[in-house]
């Protein structure tokens, strides 16, 4: 199959990867460097793999300006495992943590925390079907941390800045990680499933600050203790996924790092939101100030037209535009690796579709 048959891919996750990365992976798949084997077939204790992890960590440190006080972990279990692992480690047995409830994933994280102890919903946008980001919340000075979801993949909202908090922030950044700079000093821990912005499914990147890590509970199960993985390579990491993540990070540096990609992301988002706002045929689903730069959600005048839109778009080579099954509508996920021409193609398709069906 020719590479030209690749579609413009708007999948919400696993999402599109840079073509440069896919090509490099294809090239070296049967034989990785001097190892005499594929990267999938070498020991995680080998010099070749240790160099891959070191390279990925170094790139992350450069991209986010991370000092030595930060641990970078490559874990498994998806972001969903983090919903449990965070409170297991950091929710004190007799204490509490605050959660901001801004969508499906935030709710799931909160539910896991409640299973383990005193978690409190400090704000929620459930009253308006998660169409906004709460600007105010009721902070608790005694909370062990404040958990929030920086980008709400299902609803298409995003924090424009991290919430002000008197306690360390813990963030699920799965769907906007490395799409813009992060004020790291305000965080205790950030986690992100790789499969949207930084690689394939199978690895979750966790950044945890050393002084925050030292506050964790004791007597934790070994595999679920962040300290285990901060101390050493405890068990077999997802070698292949980390290898691809490293390649995506090198690609990101070539795009000018997070500041460079942020500018491209802004351009793509403006193009798409302008197309939505230009007409009554398309209707954005969230408050304008809460709009996500990563997942652009909108509706058409009827669900029948929406189904037709998705179908005809696919025929034009624009894939995976169907909204999340829980909310319907259209969702274009325009993560870092979604190139500007893909968004331009979508916008011209939207104009043509309206002309025919509007």
What residues are annotated to the active site?
105, 172, 196
Question: Considering the rule CB under 6 A, would residue 76 count as an interface residue with ligand PLP?
Answer: no
Residue that has been written with the tokens 């798409």 in this structure: 272
Nearer to ligand PLP, 89 or 333 (CB): 333
How far apart are the C-alpha atoms of 333 and 12, rounded to whole Å?
5
Q: Which of residues 3-22 bind ligand PLP (CB under 6 A)?
A: 13
Least Å from the CB of residue 100 to ligand PLP? 13
- Supply the DSSP symbol for 208: E
| CB-based closest residue to ligand PLP | 78
Q: With CA atoms as reference, report the closest residue to 98 among 121, 71, 131, 130.
A: 121
Dihedral angle sign, alpha carbons of residues 301, 304, 307, 312? negative
Element (H, E) at 80: helix 78-90
Radius of gyration of the chain from its Cα atoms, rounded to whole angstroms: 21
How far apart are the C-alpha atoms of 203 and 245, rounded to whole Å?
9
- Please select the residue that binds ligand PLP; options are 56, 59, 79, 244, rule is CB under 6 A: 79
Could you tell me the CA-to-CA distances from 311 to 291, 339, 343 in Å, in that order?
25, 22, 17
Q: With CA atoms as reference, report the closest residue to 189 among 230, 154, 153, 152.
A: 230
**Span from 32-40, 65-73, 168-176, 177-185 in contact with ligand PLP (CB under 6 A):** 168-176
Residue 120 · residue 97 · CB < 8 Å: yes
**Span from 56-64, 171-179, 303-311, 331-339 in contact with ligand PLP (CB under 6 A):** 171-179
Site string for ligand PLP, 82-111 (x = CB under 6 A): -----------------------x------
Residue that has been written with the tokens 């308006």 in this structure: 128
Q: Which two tokens stand for residue 16?
A: 């599109």
**Span from 19-27, 63-71, 74-82, 298-306 in contact with ligand PLP (CB under 6 A):** 74-82
Least Å from the CB of residue 104 to ligand PLP? 8
Least Å from the CB of residue 79 to ligand PLP? 3
Least Å from the CB of residue 285 to ligand PLP? 16
Question: Considering the rule CB under 6 A, would residue 174 count as an interface residue with ligand PLP?
Answer: yes
- Please select the residue that binds ligand PLP; options are 24, 25, 46, 78, rule is CB under 6 A: 78
Least Å from the CB of residue 353 to ligand PLP? 27
Could you tell me the CA-to-CA distances from 148 to 33, 95, 110, 145, 293 in Å, in that order?
41, 18, 10, 10, 17
Question: Considering the rule CB under 6 A, would residue 193 count as an interface residue with ligand PLP?
Answer: yes
- Please select the residue that binds ligand PLP; options are 172, 225, 246, 306, rule is CB under 6 A: 172
Q: Which of residues 289-348 bind ligand PLP (CB under 6 A)?
A: none
Question: Considering the rule CB under 6 A, would residue 246 count as an interface residue with ligand PLP?
Answer: no
- Supply the DSSP symbol for 291: B
Positions touching ligand PLP (CB under 6 A) are 13, 78-80, 105, 149, 153, 172, 174-175, 193
């Amino acid at each position: 199959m020719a590479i030209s048959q690749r579609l413009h891919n708007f999948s919400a996750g696993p999402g599109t990867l840079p073509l440069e990365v896919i090509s490099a992976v294809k090239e070296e798949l049967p034989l990785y460097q001097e190892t005499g084997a594929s990267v999938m077939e070498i020991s995680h204790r080998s010099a070749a793999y240790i160099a891959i992890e070191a390279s990925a960590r170094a790139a992350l440190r450069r991209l986010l300006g991370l000092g030595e006080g930060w641990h970078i972990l490559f874990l498994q279990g998806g972001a969903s495992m983090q919903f449990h692992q965070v409170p297991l480690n950091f929710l004190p047995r007799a204490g509490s943590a605050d959660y901001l409830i801004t969508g499906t994933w935030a709710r799931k994280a909160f539910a896991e925390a409640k299973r383990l102890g005193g978690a409190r919903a400090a704000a929620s946008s459930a009253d308006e079907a998660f169409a906004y980001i709460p600007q105010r919340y009721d902070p608790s000075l005694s909370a062990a941390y404040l958990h929030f979801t920086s980008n709400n993949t299902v609803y298409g909202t995003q924090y424009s800045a991290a919430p002000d908090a008197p306690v360390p922030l813990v963030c699920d950044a799965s769907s906007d990680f490395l799409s813009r700079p992060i004020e790291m000093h305000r965080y205790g821990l950030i986690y992100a499933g790789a499969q949207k912005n930084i690689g394939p499914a199978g690895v979750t990147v966790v950044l945890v600050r050393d002084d925050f890590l030292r506050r964790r509970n004791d007597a934790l199960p070994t595999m679920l203790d962040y300290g285990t993985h901060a101390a050493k390579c405890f068990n077999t990491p997802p070698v292949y996924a980390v290898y691809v993540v490293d390649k995506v990070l090198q690609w990101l540096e070539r795009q000018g790092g997070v500041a460079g990609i942020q500018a491209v992301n802004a351009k793509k988002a403006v193009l798409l939101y302008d197309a939505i706002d230009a007409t009554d045929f398309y209707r954005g689903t969230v408050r304008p100030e809460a709009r996500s730069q990563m997942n652009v959600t909108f509706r058409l005048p009827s669900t029948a037209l929406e189904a037709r839109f998705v179908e005809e778009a696919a025929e034009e080579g624009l894939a995976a535009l169907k909204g999340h099954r829980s909310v319907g509508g259209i969702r274009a996920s325009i993560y870092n690796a979604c190139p500007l021409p893909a968004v331009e193609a979508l916008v011209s398709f939207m104009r043509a579709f309206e002309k025919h069906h509007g």
